[in-house]
Chains A and B, each alone.
Chain A
Amino acid sequence: MGPTRGISIVLIAPALAMALALFVYPLGYSLIGAFQDRGGAWTLANFVRAWELYRLDTLYTVVIVGVSTLLIAVFSIAIGGYLTLGSSPLARKLLDWIYRWPLFVPFIVAALCMRTFLGRNGMMNNSFVFLGLMDQESAQSFLDWRGIVVTFVWKQTPFVTLMVAGAMLGLDRSTIDAARNLGASRLRVLLEIVVPQIRRTLAVGLILSFVTMMSVLSVPIMLSGQSPSMLTVNMAWRINSIGDYGTANALGFVSYLLTGLAAWFYLREAVRDKAAQGAPR
């Protein structure tokens, strides 16, 4: 059954050609370009310049994306956990309905929402003042790295939660019920029984989010234009303002390295899991 080997190759050729020409080739181009000067000679000057000009921005990017990833993990476990273990059916239903809203909101729209929501006189501060939680004098603008973190967390938490909650609901209930019957608190059941079993789903979701956040330009460019800025903004600036592909590619290389590092942590854990299980699944 099914197409023969020859026909299969013909069928896949157009899609494969497209991926190779429009992704793999430019990806290779960017990797090589990071090590070449304008004339095409091999050099490390791009990395020297990137280090001199953008080491603070690199750190800034790592902190923003790292803090966001951590918060996304916490919130998705909390929401998924409540959906799985929560005691009030009404609250579960409401939470299930509410948490997905930002899922399909484009990043550029999220950025615009937050720009007016988090400003010094934005809706968030205004509401806090109105509710008496804060006085007007202490209102401050969150349109800096904190605003970027809030936007990333707002946008990506539903995505990871959807995966995590799905995996949690698919778990065998008997261990959970047994632990509950033995008197374990919900929090303890969540952290010691549920989370360890969905660790890999969580890790995949977080890595996909990490990569996404590393390549979003619209959020940092709209929320915080000033220095220090995220690497994506720096790359865009090197290209659009001075046509400096060398340094932009060196920064691109750094962002590949950072995502590679995240993926490596995951793979190491996955390999360990397999080794612990004794047999590959």
Chain B
Amino acid sequence: MKWILRAAVLASIVFFVLGPLANLAIWSVAEQWFWPHRLPSQWGFRFWEVVFRPTGRAMEALWLSIWIALLTTAVCLAVSIPAGYALARGRLPWRPVVMLVFLLPQAFPNLPVYINIARIFFEFDLNGTVAGVVMVHAVHGLVFSVWIATAAFAAVDPELEQAARNMGASGPRTFFEVTLPLALPGIVASAIFVFLESLDEFTGSYFVGAPEIRTLPLLLYSAGAGGNIQIAAISALILLVPSILFMLLVERFLKGEVLAKMGR
């Protein structure tokens, strides 16, 4: 009896967790699906061809999204590697305040801030440009990249650096040949995280980028709003690929114990 109850509870969890995703997958191959059919009456890949047509807007949006995400990751790493090193090893006045500044984008609802960024960008002609969208994505990514980089550098054993220095290595050489390689796994994880956040970002792109900059999430939104559910579903599945790859990849080092330490 207990066994049946357990199976029923697990089955309903599976249904509610995976059902919406399965539903999305079915919609992407549904050429015709009208009520009262419980499943599509005509299956096929016609809409996939529409999306993957080289001249199609979806492919254009995908490449643009990837390009923006790459630029965002580069910007975030460029500023957060030195910042993380300084926060972990340097002597900084007001260190807690500085850490707090990098936490702010996570502590306030972002949307009202994005509205005002768009208003400020208007004066600099940055709305509707790749640079503008990258900046908005980067400031959001900064929270993760700075905090993770700081943690990664802090985890490197200072005695190893000391040993390198004792053997005559210069400060920069110690950094590039000892500290950075040891902190690299954490930094790579933060880079992947920033990349994904940028790829999936909707609100900031909506206010700063639209309508000129059409990223995949914006295309998904307008396709969904326009009733092109199949196109939207396929765009959504494309967006999911990197996310799921990442989940499988990081499952090893994205342990709850690590996350639980955040915010302490």
Contacts and interface: CB of A to CB of B under 8 A. Distances in A.
A122 interface: yes
Interface string B170-199: 010000000000000000000000001000
A198 to B, nearest CB: 8
B239 A109 contact: yes
Contact of A33 (B35, B116, B158): B116
A162 B217 CA distance: 26
B257 A88 contact: no
Given A1-B89, A22-B136, A256 B108 contact: yes
Interface of A: 1-5, 7-9, 11-12, 14-16, 18-20, 22-27, 29-30, 33, 88, 91, 94-95, 98-117, 121-124, 126-127, 130, 136, 154, 162-167, 169-170, 200-201, 204, 208, 211, 214-218, 221-222, 232, 235-236, 239, 245, 248-249, 251-253, 255-256, 259, 263
A5 to B, nearest CB: 5
Contacts of A18: 79, 138-139, 142
Contact of A11 (B83, B106, B113, B221): B83
A15 B24 contact: no
Given A1-B162, A8-B91, A29-B119, A235 B257 contact: no
Given A9-B92, A30-B116, A15 B202 contact: no
Nearest to B259: A163
Interface residues of B, number: 95
Contacts of B15: 127
Contacts of B101: 16, 19-20, 24
Interface centre among B89, B115, B254 (most CB of A within 10 A): B115
Interface of B: 6, 10, 13-24, 26-27, 35-36, 38, 78-80, 82-83, 85-87, 89-93, 98, 101-102, 104-120, 135-136, 138-139, 142, 146, 158, 161-162, 165, 171, 196, 200, 202-203, 206-207, 217, 220-221, 224-225, 229, 232-233, 236, 239-240, 243-244, 246-247, 251, 254-260, 262-264
A229 B215 CA distance: 25
Contacts of A154: 16-17, 20
Contact of A109 (B13, B24, B259, B263): B24
A143 B93 CA distance: 51
Contacts of A95: 10, 13
A158 B111 CA distance: 23
Contacts of A94: 10
A110 B243 CA distance: 13
A59 to B, nearest CB: 17
Given A108-B217, A112-B24, A101 B17 contact: yes
Would you list the 7 A-B pairs with minimal beta carbon distance, nearest first?
Answer: A166-B256, A252-B112, A8-B90, A106-B200, A2-B89, A15-B83, A113-B20
A280 to B, nearest CB: 13
- Chain A binding surface SS class: helix
Contacts of A26: 113-114, 116-117, 119-120
B224 A222 contact: yes
A114 B36 contact: no
Nearest to A157: B17
Contacts of B246: 104
Interface centre among B116, B139, B217 (most CB of A within 10 A): B116
B86 to A, nearest CB: 4
B139 A22 contact: yes
A170 B244 contact: no
Contacts of A201: 260, 263
B13 A249 contact: no
17 contacts: A2-B91, A2-B158, A3-B89, A7-B86, A14-B82, A16-B98, A30-B112, A103-B247, A111-B224, A116-B27, A123-B22, A162-B254, A166-B255, A217-B111, A235-B115, A249-B115, A252-B115
Given A112-B24, A169-B256, A24 B104 contact: yes
Contacts of A121: 35-36
Contacts of A19: 101-102, 104-105, 139, 142
Given A222-B224, A245-B119, A163 B112 contact: no
Given A8-B90, A23-B113, A259-B109, 7 more contacts: A26-B116, A33-B116, A100-B247, A104-B196, A154-B16, A217-B203, A256-B108
